[in-house]
Amino acid sequence: MRRSPIIALVAAITVSAACRAQSASAGCPATPTSVGTPPLTLFAYDRGANLDVRDSLASTDRGVDVHRISFVSPKGGRATGLLYLPHDSLRASKGKVPGIIMMHGAPGDAAGMRGVAVPFARQGAIVLALDAPFARRDRNNPLSFTARDSVDQVQLIVDLQRTVDVLIARDDVDASKLGFVGLSYGAAMGAHFAGVERRIAAYALLVGDAGLAAHFRDADLSQFPGLAQRSQAEWCRWFAAMEPLASTRFIGRAPPARVLFLWGREDRLVPPALANELYAAAGETKEARWYDSGHGLPPTAFLDTIDWLATHIGIAPASAAERAKFAPGAP
């Protein structure tokens, strides 16, 4: 891979903590986002309900079979995504192998994670990339700034739990070696998920922040006329619905799972202030790595993630030859 193994999926609106003019949250009651008991009962479901998994082979990519997959969502309809199955030659054994759940950015969908999912599957993991609820309707329109956004987030966290159920129901997945990789929006949702799900051993969260409310808290609405037409009361209702779902309320419950944060020092979509807000809320099993990049992390960040997951869930580490491709002065 000479180019980055992923086309970065970035948020639809650039946000800077320095932007205060016509702030979306101006005049709304302040709500602490890092304290208080998270509303865990929102994400309860019947783990024994029928999954009704359906999958079909869509393509093969460098020794990895790519399947379209769907299963029943406890919140209605069918959850969809892509399942990446490495051929036997890429697996450490013919027995059980690690499993990884992947979550895409916004706008985006599971298909956009292929550039990450295939390399990780080639390290011997079975990878399931899930579509967010919004992506099942329209991958390009992740937010309505109405109550639907909080409903979508609750459904996503429930569907991610069901994704764990799908993986561990397979006879070739080791339920003790599960990981999560989220990018941008997917990382923010992963930080929330880490406070709910207890079966995942390691979460790699790339360029994520504390969630949707934090991301828009200080947005300068004068840059976006369509959004500025919403009344202050509408904005306050949206923040009131989204703040209880802030990832800072949940990430502290992640231990004993390990959490790796990866951020870019020059990221304008998730600037250091937003990154540090999430990091400060995390528990003692956290670590962070910073790169001289923007929102699109360099290829070495993805290789670092592979090596980190190799340590914690037992996938194969990145090869020296792969590392050499991105070494300074490499042709």
**pLDDT digits 0-9 by tens, 1-54:** 333 333 232 333 333 333 334 567 767 777 665 556 678 999 999 999 999 999
Q: Please give the share of the chain, as a percent, with pLDDT higher than 70.
A: 86
Instruction: Give me the mean pLDDT over the 255-270 stretch.
Output: 96
295 touches 262 (CB < 8 A): no
pLDDT digits (tens, 9 = 90+) for 85-124: 999 999 987 899 999 999 999 999 999 999 999 999 999 9
> Domain coordinates of the chain in residue numbers?
50-324
* 50-324 CATH: 3.40.50.1820
Q: Which runs of consecutive H residues, i.e. helices, occur in 122-172?
A: 133-137, 148-168
* pLDDT confidence band for 329 (50 / 70 / 90): low
Distances (CA, A) of 269 to 109, 184, 296: 19, 9, 10
Closest CA to 131 of 170, 166, 80: 80
Give the C-alpha separation, 327 to 277, whole Å: 32
Average pLDDT of the chain is 88
Q: Which long-range contacts (CB under 8 A, 24 or more apart) does 173-177 make?
A: 173/96, 173/97, 173/98, 173/99, 173/126, 174/96, 174/97, 174/98, 174/99, 174/314, 175/99, 175/199, 176/201, 177/96, 177/97, 177/98, 177/99, 177/201, 177/313, 177/314
In this predicted structure, what is the pLDDT of residue 218? 66
Q: Please give the share of the chain, as a percent, with pLDDT higher than 90.
A: 76
Does residue 165 carry a pLDDT above 70? yes
Pick the more confident residue, 288 or 217: 288
pLDDT digits (tens, 9 = 90+) for 209-259: 999 988 887 666 665 556 657 788 888 999 999 999 999 999 999 999 999
Q: Which residues pair with 287 in a beta bridge?
A: 260
